[in-house]
Structure 1
Amino acid sequence: MAKNQSQASLSEVHSSVDTTVPGKSRWRRVLAFFGPAYLVSVGYMDPGNWATGLAGGSQFGYSLLWVLVMSSIMGLLLQSLSARLGIVRNRDLAQANRETYPKKINFVLYILAEIAIVATDLAEILGMAIGLQLLTGMPLIWGVAITALDTFLLMTLQKWGMRKLEAFIIGLIFVIGMSFLVQILVADPNTGEIASGLIPHIQNDTALYIAIGIIGATVMPHNLYLHSALVQTRKFNRDDASIKKAIKLNFWDSAIALNMALLVNAAILILAATVFYKTGRSDVAELKQAYELLPQHLGSDFTAKLFAVALIAAGQSSTITGTLAGQIVMEGYLRFRMNPLLRRLITRLLAIVPAALVILINGEGKVDSLLIFSQVVLSMQLGFAVIPLIHFVSDKKTMGKFAIKPLIKISAWFITILLVYLNSKLLVEEAINFFDTSGNIIWKGLIILGGIGFVILMAYTTLYPLFSRKAFCEITPHDKPEPLQLQPFVPYRNIALTVDFKTLDHKVINHAITQGGKDSRYTLIHIVESVASASHFHDSTDEETLKDREFLDEYAKQLQDNGYFAEAKLGFGKTADAIAEIVNQSDAELVVMGAHGHKGLKDLLYGATINQVRHLVKIPVLIVKNEGEQKH
């Protein structure tokens, strides 16, 4: 793990999709821009939306359909602002925050962003685990554990390239859409009644709670971080005309993708309203319960199976984007980079642990309430992502002619104020209910302190960029380097080198002698790996040990005959440990090792000796690569 020295957002795939390749038709160059919004859109149809959609549809019929439409419009505006930030400034939202706010505030914003991502991942894990349980009957806790394997799928997809990853996600979206299309056709809802749900109204506090959950499930904080990074995977010219074109095409990309997500979310709510609310089953708020009741009302087990398949597809697609958002947030706020596989496993485990604890302690019956709660948590975090975003895209110093126009700015602030008001109202009502029913003074004190902190942080993030002279001050990726202090060439006097009696040895030995010359000492190392040597070590007299000693002595003799001082050291036991032990004992100043180019499964079969040795010695390691292997 190390400080990230590359400021490129999602550096593995940054500018990896070239939209300027000559020879492509105009339409192919246009379509090259399409894709990022589809990865974002899956966050708008993740399993958390299913829970809120089912609860809203079964309890209040079509009446909350307008909330979905409003959320989609909000989402389109905010996602287009996020894309604009990434396209114009080449910064994701986390990087822009880091350049603007003080270090301590940034750390708090980072923690809140991580909480939002964990809440998102929690919904995705539970949704996919429930889908697996519905299809296979496996215990829910097993399904939760299986979701950890998603991390390896993401790593594989990303190695194939960004377009392949986007194609995979679009395929999953198609599965979800087709599944609900079939269910809606079977349910046959009344279009006139559906239209009545587009008239804004809220019946009671329960409807408000679900409505805020729908907003939280639709407009997610992590999607704003994600979109501002994903648009940077497109390589295009940096002139004003090309930037303007990129903004326009990404807007249409967002409009198409988010409208697809709206149709899926609307289908969930309409299905719940048609099948459950109209038949008097207003108590259906759980995914498992909906799965069990669908065959009774639709007359087909096949529709229930489609429900489970779509649930798995939604969880699988959403978890990929959630882990990408985790990478963006960590690297953007902290400039801290760790092994991608480890980072994504940590992101996933942070969500798996609470999900597993809830299942083990409270049982599977509390899972759906946890899903809805996760969406409310997301809604409460939203302001801390939206407010800085509006500041950034409004600033003419950094955005230039691409700063948003007054009408868009007013609309964005209106949406933000509405969201913050609804969230605050929900928080106050929940706090009042808790105070009326609980006598725990400690929890009451924590809630009051949390509320005060919420207000202070919200005010700070809103006002700081307006009054601070340091706002929007660009932070360069690197500090200015010190003048070079060049030293004359001094050959290494004591060099250790590993040999394996293969053609690569010739390159290893030649590289070693070019680092030292005839006045240096060379220690040739080979580790015996026979079964007998693993037990008897230096006392081994098996055929492999005897031959290895003979071959190693022959190498040393050939060097000696050519005027070099060389000695042979045969090692036994674990390869990396034995090499490091001989190197340290010989007081070597440099180790020269041959790399055979093993990757993936071969590393598991043959080991990754070089990587282990370099951690066990305190001197430079020169790696000589095999013929035909690409140099990095």
Structure 2
Amino acid sequence: MSKSLEEVNQSVATQDKKSVFRKILAFFGPAYLISVGYMDPGNWATDLAGGSQFGYSLLWVLLMSNIMALLLQSLSARLGIVTQRDLAQASRETYSKFINYILYFLAEVAIAACDLAEVLGMAIGINLLFGIPLIEGVLITVLDTFLLLFLINKGIRKMEAFIIALVMVIGVSFVFEMIFAQPEMDKVLLGLIPSMPNETALYIAIGIIGATVMPHNLYLHSSLVQTRKFDRTTAGIKQALKYNFIDSTIALNLAFFVNAAILILAAATFYKVGMHQVAEIQDAHKFLQPLLGTKWAPILFAVALIAAGQSSTITGTLAGQIIMEGYLNLRIQPWVRRIITRLIAIVPAVIVITIFGEGVTGKLLIFSQVILSLQLGFAIIPLIHFVSDKSKMKGFHIGKWTQIASWIVATIIVILNGKLVVDEINGWLETSENPILLWLTVVPLALGFLVLLLYIVIKPFITKSKTAFQNHSPHHLNLRFSKTTADTKKNIAIAVDFSSADAVALNGAFELGGTTANYTLIHVVETVGALMYGDHTDDHETLIDEKLLEEYKEMLSAKGFKISTQLGFGKPNKVIPKILSQGNFDILVMGTHGHTGLKDLIFGTTVDKLRHKITIPLLILKE
């Protein structure tokens, strides 16, 4: 299995920082990318509803949600730091293929639901600020896919800086909103004391908790902490855990401030004048200027909404990449992965808005939160099991009290989210013209998810866990070394792509040349930077590929083979022929994944174009 977010894995050095402040600063960043998920547009609707209907009285729910989120995110960071696995990879190495495929599907549905909320939120912000129709605003959000591609190639620190800048925009906007709204501070403090005015307040409280903890954030955090390179000693791991916890505390408290500010704003403006039904983002924007007496209030509100949508959609798409690579051990071209993720969110949004009009966006936002609620337990429960396992965590497992607290939090979240889902299904059954169809589809599906959830909870308690996560790095190949084969070739080129196809190619090449032939391993970097700058590129994926190629060389040389390497940049079907023309090669050996048609577009096709451009034999070996 390849490393999580391989192009930026361990790309930020922390060991060379002399002062404590600089060392802490080197670890800061991942949690800010996580925090934007806690202030995404999906949270705004529940915060607005809570503030406009019940004033400041549900502030304590936000505080409790924030404490829960901090605990779960610290567990996620611990998993990544100690095991060097993200949550998806850990699940893949623990559960059966069948269970993993279901978990992967659920995670992808959650990503799509989350992305739907973010796309809608950003489109609403663009509509409110510039007057651009909602449909066109939704289509504009496709462009940030390419922004993410640009940022990731510039390095994780540049991406973190961009996200932190957006978070600051949101924070500063709401500081001014608080100045305009002038909330009653004594009531704000009273709102931090637990109380539940009525049953409707309970429903909104469930919605707030359900919208706060995002399943994709748990996958994302366990991966992003691995971008830091530190000493893998006991002391080094303890230090990384400590600094990442500080990072999480600061970032999530910032998210709490934003969510609290939205609720306080609604309480100080709408609740105060008796407007208790303001839950739609567009309504809140419309009434801010007349109630607060300044044109800047709605402008800052819309700017903050765009920043929230933009920042959370970037991190959501990144989480999609982590989930696909982790569960399926599958790497596809990054731009394809991101376009697919975005289209899954945009297409339903465009269809629903076209059919039902722009007034349905509020219902779409709520629907996305229900889908997220359904998936949450399938991320939280495996995470708690993993970080509680002594063998997998190599002595850095969580203590008994933390385990008890984690299971209490998981139980609260799963029960509340379960109630939210049951209430929604009941609502559909009552209002549906054809409830039998729902009884035959939605209800059995919900019961099936319940059975799966119980299985994931119980299984680790009744079966022994594996001693540790297995190492499936791409350079740990299943190779057959033959030293007795007749040597028929002297100079053999082997195309490698750091996938399971490499083992097939190398085995085939060794059967042709034995231990006396000269082998040249060729790998081509296909990043945007490589396409534009060729061998002058210095992006992180290039550094990773150079390192992997060198590891191949060292491993095979130790087995007695004569190995050299060539790193190319650009399109393989153009670069490989150039490399071959510069050497005296007898044959080119390639492993292939055996995909055709649509899969060629997704994975990239090389063989068909390549074989017409070379003058030596080409041996293609299928997995």
RMSD: 2.6
Contact 1:150-1:316 within 8 A present in 2 as well: yes
Residue by residue, what CA displacement relative to the aligned partner does 1:597-628 show, whole Å, maximum 9, x if unpaired? xxxxxxxxxxxxxx9875324478599xxxxx
1:17 to 7, 12, 16: 12
Question: For residue 333 of structure 2, what is the aligned residue in structure 1?
Answer: 339
Contact 2:490-2:586 within 8 A present in 1 as well: no
Helix, strand or coil at the partner of 2:391: helix
Contact 1:214-1:375 within 8 A present in 2 as well: no
Distance 1:371 1:429, change over 3 A: closer
**1:261 is the counterpart of 2:255:** yes
Contact 2:41-2:308 within 8 A present in 1 as well: yes
Helix, strand or coil at the partner of 1:488: coil
Question: For residue 616 of structure 1, what is the aligned residue in structure 2?
Answer: 609
What are the ranges of 5 or more consecutive residues in structure 1 without an aligned counterpart?
A: 494-575, 581-587, 592-610, 624-632
* Cα distance between partner residues in 2 of 1:236 and 1:77: 23
* Cα distance between partner residues in 2 of 1:224 and 1:88: 15
1:360 to 354, 363, 381: 354
Helix, strand or coil at the partner of 2:272: helix
Contact 1:590-1:620 within 8 A present in 2 as well: no
Matches within 5 A, 1:102-141: 102-141=96-135
**1:461 is the counterpart of 2:460:** no
- The structural deviation recorded for 1:182 is 0.3
1:372 to 361, 366, 380: 366
- The structural deviation recorded for 1:205 is 4.2
Helix, strand or coil at the partner of 1:238: coil
Distance 1:431 1:30, change over 3 A: closer
- The structural deviation recorded for 1:204 is 4.0
Distance 1:299 1:392, change over 3 A: same
Question: For residue 52 of structure 1, what is the aligned residue in structure 2?
Answer: 46
> What amino acid sits opposite 2:487 in the alignment?
P
Instruction: Give me the identity figure in percent.
Output: 57
Contact 1:183-1:271 within 8 A present in 2 as well: yes
**1:318 is the counterpart of 2:312:** yes
Helix, strand or coil at the partner of 2:362: helix
> What amino acid sits opposite 2:27 in the alignment?
F
Residue by residue, what CA displacement relative to the aligned partner does 1:371-421 show, whole Å, maximum 9, x if unpaired? 122123212211111100000000011113211011111000001111111
1:443 to 438, 462, 485: 438
Question: For residue 170 of structure 1, what is the aligned residue in structure 2?
Answer: 164
* Cα distance between partner residues in 2 of 1:462 and 1:423: 16
Residue by residue, what CA displacement relative to the aligned partner does 1:75-99 show, whole Å, maximum 9, x if unpaired? 0000000000000001000011111
- The structural deviation recorded for 1:431 is 3.3
- Tell me the TM-score normalized by structure 2: 0.78
**1:229 is the counterpart of 2:216:** no
Question: For residue 242 of structure 2, what is the aligned residue in structure 1?
Answer: 248
Helix, strand or coil at the partner of 1:400: coil
Structure 1 segments (4+ residues) deviating >6 Å: 588-591
> What amino acid sits opposite 1:308 in the alignment?
A
* Cα distance between partner residues in 2 of 1:362 and 1:589: 65
Question: For residue 484 of structure 1, what is the aligned residue in structure 2?
Answer: 481
- The structural deviation recorded for 1:490 is 3.5
Distance 1:485 1:81, change over 3 A: same
Contact 1:82-1:228 within 8 A present in 2 as well: yes
Larger Rg: 1
**1:280 is the counterpart of 2:274:** yes
Distance 1:622 1:93, change over 3 A: farther
Distance 1:195 1:32, change over 3 A: same
* Cα distance between partner residues in 2 of 1:308 and 1:413: 38
Question: For residue 327 of structure 1, what is the aligned residue in structure 2?
Answer: 321
Distance 1:613 1:382, change over 3 A: closer
* Cα distance between partner residues in 2 of 1:423 and 1:472: 33
2:232 to 238, 256, 268: 238
* Cα distance between partner residues in 1 of 2:614 and 2:257: 57
> What amino acid sits opposite 1:481 in the alignment?
N
* Cα distance between partner residues in 2 of 1:105 and 1:465: 14
* Cα distance between partner residues in 1 of 2:467 and 2:259: 37
Residue by residue, what CA displacement relative to the aligned partner does 1:530-553 show, whole Å, maximum 9, x if unpaired? xxxxxxxxxxxxxxxxxxxxxxxx
- The structural deviation recorded for 1:450 is 1.9
Distance 1:369 1:622, change over 3 A: farther
Distance 1:463 1:619, change over 3 A: farther
> What amino acid sits opposite 1:484 in the alignment?
F
- The structural deviation recorded for 1:492 is 9.3
* Cα distance between partner residues in 1 of 2:241 and 2:86: 15
> What amino acid sits opposite 2:172 in the alignment?
M
Distance 1:471 1:380, change over 3 A: farther
* Cα distance between partner residues in 2 of 1:124 and 1:234: 28
Question: For residue 550 of structure 2, what is the aligned residue in structure 1?
Answer: none
Question: For residue 154 of structure 1, what is the aligned residue in structure 2?
Answer: 148
- Tell me the TM-score normalized by structure 1: 0.77
Residue by residue, what CA displacement relative to the aligned partner does 1:436-471 show, whole Å, maximum 9, x if unpaired? 444521212223312321220110010111222355
**1:395 is the counterpart of 2:389:** yes
What are the ranges of 5 or more consecutive residues in structure 2 without an aligned counterpart?
A: 493-572, 578-584, 589-603, 617-623
Choose 397-406 or 465-474, whichever is displaced more.
Answer: 465-474
Contact 2:41-2:309 within 8 A present in 1 as well: yes
* Cα distance between partner residues in 2 of 1:471 and 1:350: 36
- The structural deviation recorded for 1:118 is 0.9
* Cα distance between partner residues in 1 of 2:356 and 2:430: 24
* Cα distance between partner residues in 1 of 2:266 and 2:20: 44
**1:82 is the counterpart of 2:76:** yes
Distance 1:422 1:361, change over 3 A: same
* Cα distance between partner residues in 1 of 2:392 and 2:364: 41
Distance 1:376 1:212, change over 3 A: farther
Helix, strand or coil at the partner of 2:470: coil
Contact 2:370-2:420 within 8 A present in 1 as well: no
Distance 1:622 1:200, change over 3 A: farther
Question: For residue 540 of structure 2, what is the aligned residue in structure 1?
Answer: none
- The structural deviation recorded for 1:302 is 1.3
* Cα distance between partner residues in 2 of 1:222 and 1:258: 15
Helix, strand or coil at the partner of 1:130: helix
> What amino acid sits opposite 2:138 in the alignment?
V
- The structural deviation recorded for 1:64 is 1.6
Question: For residue 214 of structure 1, what is the aligned residue in structure 2?
Answer: 208
* Cα distance between partner residues in 1 of 2:465 and 2:334: 33
Contact 2:45-2:281 within 8 A present in 1 as well: yes
* Cα distance between partner residues in 1 of 2:613 and 2:218: 43
* Cα distance between partner residues in 2 of 1:492 and 1:460: 54
Contact 1:18-1:234 within 8 A present in 2 as well: yes
Contact 2:373-2:421 within 8 A present in 1 as well: no
> What amino acid sits opposite 1:259 in the alignment?
N
* Cα distance between partner residues in 2 of 1:93 and 1:293: 43
* Cα distance between partner residues in 2 of 1:196 and 1:138: 41
